[in-house]
Each structure stands twice: as structure tokens, then as C-alpha cells.
A and B are shown apart, each in its own frame.
Chain A
């Protein structure tokens, strides 16, 4: 298998882009990625997206986007793994280049949630859950995560304030991110006093609804210097699944898909969680962030509160979590989120992160979750030697 590099990336700011369509958004990210790489052409496009068929009345977006960005007739298709669609697209692109099937592949994601009318968006996102056994009973994406949060608080005797403090940290980071949807700081009270969505989750425990697109160009590591002066290596990458409904899991507080994917990615990169300097993790809700940090091996199960209090997840701590502000503050353009994460880690490793820069970062990790943990994709990036 060939080694793979990320040779360029392009992002849009995450926000409600009222004036831009699905194709225009992806076009903006793709243009920026193509301008930064001296590639002769693109051999394939693999794009992550979850809600276009529900909210933009559009399927078949591979062909649509390849045409729009001017790379037809190369093969192009969409992959869907709910919120992990972007991570799935990256794994598919990695496999295509590593196998030798393609040399230069564009991967990424796009999401246009602001075209949803009323609670169609809630319903569309809710479809990440089991339609017959969860959604049928009136569950939503938020309420399923609330079931995990309530159980966590009871099991580990964790005060609700701990989750609020995690949101505060994410906003502190995101306030420095020019691409963030909510680039401002908040207080513990902001979270505690915000609207109740599904107890104990309040509005400021949740990632905001927004639009965004991200594109990355992958090529074999040995060819990277030809096309780019600044590239990073993907030294480990893996995906895994778990039961789609939460109730079937032996422990509803363990995201087994993350445990398995992370373990495989660490082994592939010949690294352990202790080697990771920075991580972009999937905090759709504060509870999702907490479970992810634990299941990636950055923290013992149930010990999150103690480590947060010791500043373990900030620059100077064991691992800097979400220097971008994470889903909470950067935002969560669903099918694009996994691609944002990889772009953000690449930015950090290349020293291009501006005000977000975490000094001396050599190894970074991304973790992208679909549904309430039914899919996870983990990748490990390192500064190219």
C-alpha cells in the first residue's frame, strides 16, 4: 500500500450561507484547494454529504459537483455515513490512492442545512438513528444523546456544570477561528441558562446548525513535493461501526466504534494516545465530546471532569482538544465536518493556523462520528519528514 499525503485544503466559513447554494459552497472550497496544489488534474472526487436529498431536493451530487468545479469526466460520487460522511469520504479517497487505483483524489464534504424548512432539519438529522426502533418513537438526534448524558451523570456522579465548562473551553478556542460559526466566548451561565432542548441538554451543549464545505487533495506521499511545498502525511486511518440504536449496546457510555477505529489507526501509525499533540474530535453535544475523549484513550472512563479541571485538554496539557473550537463553536456542517477536522489539523501541523496555532504540534488526530456512535472514522496526521 502506498503512503498518502494531504497536499492542499480549502474551507468555507461555517455559517448560514443564505446567498449560496450547495454547489456554490463546495465550489468555493474546491477552488481554494485546487489553487494551492500544482496538480495536472483530479482523478476522482469523493464527497461526503448527509441531507442534500431531504433539504436541497438533490441526489447524485458527485456528478453535479464534478461538473460544477470543472473536473468531469472523472469518476465522482457521494458517500453517506450521517455526520461521519466526511470521514468516510476521506477513508474512501485514501483507499483509492493507497491501492494505486487513482493518483490524485479530491475528498471532502458539503452540507446546506439552512435550506431546511422548520423542523424538517431536525427530522433529516434524526434519520442518522434507527428509523424503526428509535425515530419511530419520537426520538431526535439530541434526545438520544441526552439519554447518554443523563446516564453518564448518574453513573459517574458528574455534575452538569462539567459539561458546561467543556462548552466554555470550546468557545474560548473557537473565538480565535476565522472559519467558526460561533466565534465568541461564553460563560458557564450561558450554557446553564440557555433553552432546554432535551434534558439535561440545553442549547449551548449543542453544535449549531450551519452550512459549510471543505475539500482536500490527496496524493501518494512520494509525489507530494512535486505538487506542493506544504503537505502532511496521513500515517494512520480507520473506520468502525457499532449498533445503530443506542439501547442495544452493552454499555451505552462507550462508543465502541471509536474505540475500535482509534485502536486500528494508532497501530497503523505505530503510535499511542500519549503521542498525540492535538486532536479535532466530534463534540456534536458536550456529552459526545466527553465520551469521545475517553474512548480515544486521552482519559480514563469517567475521569473526564478531573482532567478538564487540571487543564489537560488545553495547550500545555496532555493533548490540546479542538483548537478550532470543535463542532460546538466552529460549527457542524454535517457531511463536511470530517474534512474540516483534517484540514484544521493539517493547518496546525504546517504552522498555518494563525491565532489558533498550538505551538510545536507534530502529531494530530481527527475523530468523526456518524449517528450516536454507529460509525466512527479516525485519522492520524503527522508533519512530513
Chain B
């Protein structure tokens, strides 16, 4: 991953920023160039909720390059409290204890690293909610 790309993505990777349509208030994640509800091109940054529930998951046993160290790991689609959905890893839990519909909370974690001297990538994963 290039340094500018990592730097550019910091707001959403670390502060969990999505985009909210200035005209109709529709929340879009991943951000897009045009609102799919009202057609507006204007957005403001929007802090996504850091809690949600698990819509679906899988246990990855044949990882792509860069994720060998983690295998097997859990990948899931999380539906956040405002209905926004995102793909991320589910962590801090044994895969046998994961179930569709379980409550989750975001947690800041290392994702991967580019070899011995490259960038260490951080972002949000999700873990079972404590409450």
C-alpha cells in the first residue's frame, strides 16, 4: 500500500467516517460520488455508529496474500445501528461462538503489514459487544 493512500484513508479507517447527503440526509457507506436516494452530489462527513449486529460471516481458511498469519479468521458483514452495512473482520472470539444476529462493537486493530519494512495497516474490526 502506498503512503498517500494510507494517509488519505485515515479518516474512515480510524475515525469511522462515512458520508451523509447534504440534501436528503441519506447515509452512504462506502462513500459514493452521488446520492442513490436523491441524486445530490454534496456530502458531509458522518461518524458511523460503532455498534451493530452480524448479518453473515465466514471463517477464512485460504487467505489472500498478506493475511496468512491470521488464518483461520472470521470475515463478516456488520449491520450498524443506523442500518449502514460494512464488511470487516470479527475478532476476539472463537469462530464456534459466532452466530448470525449477535451484537458487535467496533475495535481498533492491526489489519496487516506490507512485509518487514512496509506500512503497518490499522483499521476497525468488530468484536462481541460486552453489554
Residues of A whose CB lies within 8 Å of any CB of B are 118-120, 122-123, 126, 130, 132-140, 142-144, 146-148, 150-151, 154, 195-201, 245-248, 252
Contacts and interface: CB of A to CB of B under 8 A. Distances in A.
Interface string B61-90: 111111110100101111000000111110
A198 B72 CA distance: 9
B56 A198 contact: no
B21 interface: no
B55 interface: yes
Given A143-B75, A198-B60, 19 more contacts: A122-B63, A122-B65, A130-B30, A133-B86, A135-B64, A138-B64, A138-B67, A138-B70, A138-B73, A138-B75, A138-B112, A140-B63, A144-B87, A147-B58, A154-B56, A199-B59, A246-B77, A247-B55, A252-B77
Contacts of B75: 137-139, 143, 146-147, 198
A97 B65 CA distance: 42
Q: Interface SS of chain A: helix, strand, loop or mixed?
A: mixed
A252 B56 contact: yes
Nearest to B68: A119
8 contacts: A122-B65, A126-B64, A138-B63, A138-B66, A150-B100, A247-B77, A247-B86, A248-B30
B9 interface: yes
Given A134-B87, A147-B56, A198 B62 contact: yes
Interface in B87-131: 87-89, 95, 100, 111-112, 121, 123, 125
Contacts of A246: 77, 87
B87 A150 contact: no
B77 A137 contact: no
A143 B125 CA distance: 16
Contacts of A138: 60, 63-64, 66-67, 70, 73, 75, 89, 111-112
Given A136-B123, A137-B75, A140-B63, A252 B55 contact: yes
A134 to B, nearest CB: 5
A200 B77 CA distance: 15
Given A139-B75, A147-B77, A201-B58, A119 B63 contact: yes
A200 B29 CA distance: 27
A144 B58 CA distance: 8
A195 B57 CA distance: 18
Contacts of B59: 196, 198-199
Nearest to B59: A199
B56 A245 contact: no
B84 to A, nearest CB: 9
A198 B76 CA distance: 11
Nearest to B78: A247
B30 A122 contact: no
A195 B72 CA distance: 13
B62 A142 contact: yes
B123 A151 contact: no
A137 B64 contact: no
B2 to A, nearest CB: 12
Contact of A140 (B62, B77, B100, B123): B62
B61 A196 contact: yes
Contacts of A120: 65
Given A151-B56, A245-B30, A137 B89 contact: yes
A120 B64 CA distance: 8
B62 A197 contact: yes
Nearest to B125: A137
Q: Which of A122, A126, A139 has the most CB of B within 10 A?
A: A139
Nearest to B28: A248
Task: Kindly name the residue among B62, B66, B76 whose own CB sees the greatest number of chain A CB atoms within 10 A.
Answer: B62
A139 to B, nearest CB: 6
A154 B29 CA distance: 25
A195 B67 CA distance: 19
A144 B64 CA distance: 12
A200 B61 CA distance: 11
